[in-house]
Amino acid sequence: MIVVVCPGQGSQTPGFLAPWLAEPAFADRLAALSDAAGLDLARHGTESDAETIRDTAVAQPLIVAAGILTFAALTADGRAARLGGIAGHSVGEITAAAGSGILSDGDAMRFVAARGRAMADAAAQAPTGMSAVIGADEAVLLARLAELGLEPANVNGGGQIVVAGALEALDALKADPPAGARVIPLQVAGAFHTRYMAPAVDSLRRVADGLAPADPVLPLWTNRDGSRVDDGARFVDLLVGQVSSPVRWDLCMQAFADAGVSGIIELAPAGALTGLAKRALKGVPSVAVKTPDDLAAAFELIDAAAA
């Protein structure tokens, strides 16, 4: 069973879309996605610098558009029927909603554009950020977070927990981490998936009311608790609440294992989720589709699983 995974914010790098836009079909599709989002995603994916694409309002539509492009290329020859499921990490859940048929590409882009703006506005209300903590005892870390007023935002598996909150508290954690742990500040502009994002939830709920979700045509797992979701309207509700609740990617990967995953394919901008899978799903082959040149290896993985 092949599972497609869709990365979240922080996976973008300057110029990462350039290899895709060298092909006219991808450039034309991105133009339509840009129109829906109200952003020049071709420019941001090829010319904009790291600071520009770090902006939440830019990064999120850019990542989802890249994932939609990659998924379309991956499934152009009818391979969607041979996939075992799809899941996204954080904003990647919107990519997964499009890939599974819950949202049209246009609605996915309109929703993610609204999400990026709402989360950027919420982040601007206080100086906050996120840091990855690697190698900490979870109970010890949670106790330390409670002391500092920080929250676990992403429980990623493989010994990695991303924490979020006030920048001063993150600095204090880095200066005095739990024994044996490393604290790595992340290049994101806010404390996502925490109480700081509550204003964004209210804004997104109004946007979601204007959507007409369908039920998924691919098995789909949620970041909330790793469970399967078969109802499109419920998944959109989860997308709304997700911005202020933790991402449990560890539970998603456990669900993949329980379902008999035999391969992982990560959509562009790829690399982070296949890295986590190598640690948490040992022995499961994976392909990170960073450029069109990586599609051949992804096709081979799908075809081998279906043989």
- Pick the catalytic residue from 34, 90, 100, 286: 90
Q: What burial class does residue 265 get, using C-beta atoms within 10 Å of its C-beta: 0-12 exposed, 13-18 middle, 19+ buried?
A: buried
By DSSP bridging, strand 160-166 and strand 128-134 are: antiparallel
Query: How many alpha carbons lie under 13 Å from residue 300 in its C-beta half-sphere?
Result: 10
Based on the residue annotation, tell me whether 100 is a catalytic residue of this protein: no
- 95-127: string of b/e by CB count within 10 Å (b at 16+)? bbbbbbbbbbbebbbbbbbbbbbbbbebbeeee
Q: ∠256-258-259 over CA atoms, to 5°?
A: 65
Residue 174: Cβ-neighbour burial (10 angstroms; 0-12, 13-18, 19+): middle
Tell which residue, 22, 106, 93, has the closest CA to residue 63: 93
In Å, how far are 47, 114, 191, 264 from 260, measured between CA atoms?
Answer: 41, 36, 34, 11
Give the residue from 109, 26, 11 showing the smallest Cα distance to 71: 26
Which one is catalytic: 34, 44, 89, 193?
193
90 is catalytic: yes
Task: Report the catalytic residues.
Answer: 90, 193
